[in-house]
Each structure stands twice: as structure tokens, then as C-alpha cells.
Amino acid sequence: MPTYAIGDVQGCYAHLGHLLEKINFDPAADRVWLVGDLVNRGPESLQVLRLVRSLGERATVVLGNHDLYLLMVDAGFSRRGKDDTLARVLEAPDREELLAWLARRPLAHLEGGYLLVHAGMLPAWSAERARALAGEVEDALTGPQARRFLLHLQGDQPDRWSETLAGWDRLRFIVNVLTRMRFCTPDGRLAMRAKGPPEKAPYGTLPWFRVPGRAAATHTVVCGHWSALGFYRSGGLIALDSGCVWGGKLTAVRLEDGAVFQVQG
């Protein structure tokens, strides 16, 4: 039963279909892990959601920042970007079912020696700690105050973790680590505004996966989010955002043997 980890789809439905054909995906026997950002910027977010939802338990999906943005817009968030391509999802007859399904997706999936997240890991967090903290956000997304949570989600502060963080600040920090971070200082202060390649790290920061002594180094982190990094593998990391929506590639890695499959965006 092979498992294929797939990078950021971002509404590129045709490319996802071509990639599943290329790996000869068998929904009766195979599994796919998707690193999040199923939607937005690409033209076919609605079809992507319908396809991935139809796979049921054969697909494991973690939430990305664009997926959360869709849930924020549905909750009433009004500051929408010019590259927002979510209208067809929001107008679909099955909108409620799709968004309810999306809101139930985890922010982190821990299985065997792998940790699946969208963006990154705080250096101080072990894989098990990240999974537990992700659960706090998941409870908020499906709880009675889900709409209030989503409307308090945007922001870059606080930028440093403390066990004493509480309320929206605590949840926002967890979300920013798991779905948005790229760079941080060695002691874990987030640099949320930086989006360039690793060699353009802001002064005093490192790509999160290059911080020495990371507590989650016991596991291989499978993630996406960072198209300027591209497809990248090193000890303890499989980064899969190869920029399909920008004309790059959509990438899959078979976890059992490391085989790589790509289709051109």
C-alpha cells in the first residue's frame, strides 16, 4: 500500500489529475498525503476540493494558509486579495459540505517516522508536541466559536512561543508556525514577512529546518508552502512546493522508496 506525498495544488485540478495518472494511483490500495493549500490562485479550486474529498480515507490532508483563508472568507473576513480565485467554491451548491469537510482537516499528521505539516516546525517543538498543539487549533475550528476564531486569525503577532500564551494569541501562533513560517531565529522568533529563497534569509534568521538542535529532528517533516525553496530533500525534510500554480511543477514523492514524480505546471 504505497503512500504518495503531494505538494501544493492551489486549484490546479488538471495537474493533480495528470499526476495521479502518472503514479497510477489506485484508490482501492494507495494513499495520498497532501501538504495543504488545496485551493486559491489556481482556476479550479472547486474541482480539487471535490476530488480530494471523494477519496475519503485514502487522502490525508493538512490545512494550509490558503485553505484557512477560504474558511476565513466564508466566516465573513472581507479583506480579500486581488489574486483570490475562490468565487466558484463560495457559490457552489455543495459549498457547505465542502467547507465543513475542509474545516475538519488536521493541521499536523503524525505517522511512523513522518510529520506532515503545511509550512514548518518551531525548533523547540517535538513532533509529538506539534501534533498536540495542532489539536488545539482543530478543536477551535470545529467548536462553537469557530467563526470568532477565524476572524481573529490574521496577524503576525505574537512572534515568539510561550507556554503561557492563551486565547487567540496562542492559537494564532500555532497556526502561523504550522501554515506560514519559513524563517526564524535560532531561539525560535518568527520572521513572518520574509518569503524569498533560503539564501535571502533576513539578518539573524535561518530557514526553520536549518536551525541546529531541532526537537522534531527525530522525524522526517513533509511539507510545502515555500515555492521559492522548491522541491528539496535533506536529512529529515521533504519539501514539496515546486510552484505548480506559478508555472513550475506539481511533485509527488513515494514515501516507501523516495521515488519522485512530477508534472509540469
> Tens place of pLDDT for every residue, the chain, 265 residues?
899 999 999 999 999 999 999 999 999 999 999 999 999 999 999 999 999 999 999 999 999 999 999 999 999 987 777 778 999 999 999 999 999 999 999 999 999 999 999 999 999 999 999 999 999 999 999 999 999 999 999 999 999 999 999 999 999 999 999 999 999 999 999 999 898 999 999 999 999 999 999 999 999 999 999 999 999 999 899 999 999 999 999 999 999 999 999 999 7
Superfamily of domain 3-264: Metallo-dependent phosphatases (3.60.21.10)
Contacts of 202 (CB under 8 A, 6+ apart): 183, 191, 194
Report pLDDT for 201. 94
Report pLDDT for 132. 98
CB 116 within 8 A of CB 33: yes
CB 238 within 8 A of CB 254: no
d(CA 193, CA 205): 12
Classify residue 83 by burial, with Cβ atoms within 10 Å: 0-12, 13-18, 19+. Answer: exposed
Q: Cell 501544493: give the residue.
A: 8
Classify residue 93 by burial, with Cβ atoms within 10 Å: 0-12, 13-18, 19+. Answer: exposed
Report pLDDT for 265. 73
Task: Specify the pTM.
Answer: 0.96
Cell of 35: 501538504
d(CA 257, CA 265): 25
